[in-house]
């Protein structure tokens, strides 16, 4: 992926973190709770993860399919990849902020929201970078959103995370991009499988960084206890 495309993708995630305000995220989580009134926080997070994985897997397959269309092919697919990268990052942004909402965390400061979203979208790299600042990878996002990092330090952290995400989408995703441009529909399979693997890594690292979900709803005090409050390892 050309560097300028990666820069655009990084800008997209920062913009999404700013535009996706707390009321919109809260409404998204509330709609899931309304559809599943007996669900615990852990179960709602599982549903958020499944929606996220479906979204990013579908986008990967769609780009691969575009490369197989007679008379259109690779040029259309190249254009679609740019949008797909933005979708992947923006979906990760929504996942991060929605999980924070379930945990009862509402990071209002712009820089704090950026750091939270970037850390989740980066996966393990983001969690490790954040963990170095707060002292531990486990539960690092809770401490970040709760104000553990002073404002001046957040700007430096976000600069580091932004550089990492540009590198991630300019270099590490290149093999997936090549696979998606393969003809005869092969790219669709590679695209879907590749994005699913990346999505799983984002989910698993978000679990580590947020830590165990609360055993009951702390946002409005409504009890919805689960057996342990823990999410199972891996995902569906």
Average pLDDT for consecutive 10-residue bins of the chain (236 residues)? 56 59 81 91 93 74 41 40 61 83 77 79 77 70 70 80 71 44 42 68 83 76 46 43
Q: What is the pLDDT of residue 39?
A: 93
Structure tokens belonging to residue 204 = 């698993």
Q: At what angle do helices 110-122 and 124-134 cross, to 10 degrees?
A: 130
Q: For the whole model, what pTM was predicted? A: 0.67
Distances (CA, A) of 82 to 156, 187, 232: 27, 16, 33
Query: Which positions ≥6 away from 15 have C-beta within 8 Å?
Result: none
Report how far residue 192's alpha carbon sits from residue 176's, in angstroms, rounded to the nearest whole number. 10
């Amino acid at each position: 992926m050309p560097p300028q495309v990666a820069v655009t993708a990084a800008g997209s995630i920062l913009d999404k973190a700013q535009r996706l305000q707390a009321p919109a995220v809260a409404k998204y989580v509330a709609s899931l709770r309304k559809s599943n009134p007996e669900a615990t926080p852990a179960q709602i997070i599982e549903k958020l993860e499944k929606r996220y994985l479906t979204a990013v897997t579908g986008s990967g397959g769609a780009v691969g399919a575009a490369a197989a269309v007679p008379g259109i092919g690779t040029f259309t697919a190249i254009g679609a990849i740019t949008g797909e990268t933005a979708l992947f990052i923006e979906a990760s942004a929504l996942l991060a902020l929605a999980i924070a909402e379930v945990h009862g965390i509402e990071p209002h400061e712009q820089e704090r929201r950026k750091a939270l979203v970037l850390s989740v979208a980066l996966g393990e790299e983001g969690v490790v970078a954040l963990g170095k600042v707060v002292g531990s990878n486990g539960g690092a996002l809770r401490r970040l959103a709760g104000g553990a990092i002073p404002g001046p330090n957040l700007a430096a952290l976000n600069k580091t995370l932004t550089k990492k995400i540009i590198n991630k989408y300019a270099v590490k995703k290149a093999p997936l991009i090549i696979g998606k441009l393969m003809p005869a529909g092969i790219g669709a399979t590679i695209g879907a499988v590749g994005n699913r693997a990346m999505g799983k890594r984002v989910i698993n690292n978000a679990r580590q960084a947020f830590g165990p979900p609360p055993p009951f709803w702390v946002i409005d005090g409504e009890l919805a206890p689960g057996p342990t409050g823990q999410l199972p390892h891996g995902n569906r």
